[in-house]
Amino acid sequence: MTKSVNTPLDEAAVESLKSGDLVSISGVVYTARDAAHKKLVELIRNGDELPLELAGQVIYYAGPTPSKPGRPIGSAGPTTSYRMDPYAPLLIEHGLKGMIGKGERSESVVEAMKRHKAVYFAATGGAGVLIARSVLSAEVVAYPELGPEAIRRLEVKDLPAIVAQDCRGGNLYKEGREAYKVG
C-alpha cells in the first residue's frame, strides 16, 4: 500500500514513515544539488538569510533538464545523494525534514536524521521523465547562475518514492541486502 505524504512535513508525519514504505509525495519540494547546498551552508554559517524556509521542507537532489513546450520541467531524475552528505546534517539541524535522491547516506546524515526527526526518500534513477510527470509547476528561486543546479520550487502531485532511511535508523539498503542474503 502506498502512503500519501504532503509537504511541508512535520515531526508526526516523519515519525509515521518507516524504511520500505512506498510513498506518494504531494505539495512543494525544492531541487538542490551540491553547489546549491554549499551556498546554503555558507549562508547559515555566516548568519545570513536563506533563499527558502527550511522548516519542514523536502529537498530533491535533482538537476532537471529544460522543459519541453507545455511542460513545467524536463527530465527530473535523482542524483547520487552522498555528494550532499557534507552539507545535509547542518540543513537538517536547521529544519529540513526530508530529502529525495538515490543511494545510501553517511552515518553523520543518519545521526542528524535520528536526532532531528528527518527522512530520506529514494526515487528511481533513470526514471526522470516519469518523475517529471508529477511536477505541476517549477520556478527558479535561487542561484540561477547554477543552471540545472539552481534551487527550484516544484509543486508536485503524487511524486513516487520509497522511504530508504527513516528517523529511527531503519535502512532499506541494509534491510534489503539482508533479506536476500544467501547462506
What is 2-179's CATH topology?
A: fumarase (3.20.130)
Average pLDDT over residues 77-86: 93
Structural contact between residues 37 and 88, judged by C-beta atoms closer than 8 angstroms: yes
Mark whether 37 is an active-site residue: yes
pLDDT tens track for 92-112: 999 999 999 999 999 999 999
Q: Which of 33, 37, 39, 105 is catalytic?
A: 37
pLDDT at 130: 81
* Calculated CA dihedral for residues 150, 123, 155, 52, nearest 10 degrees: -40
Structural contact between residues 9 and 17, judged by C-beta atoms closer than 8 angstroms: no
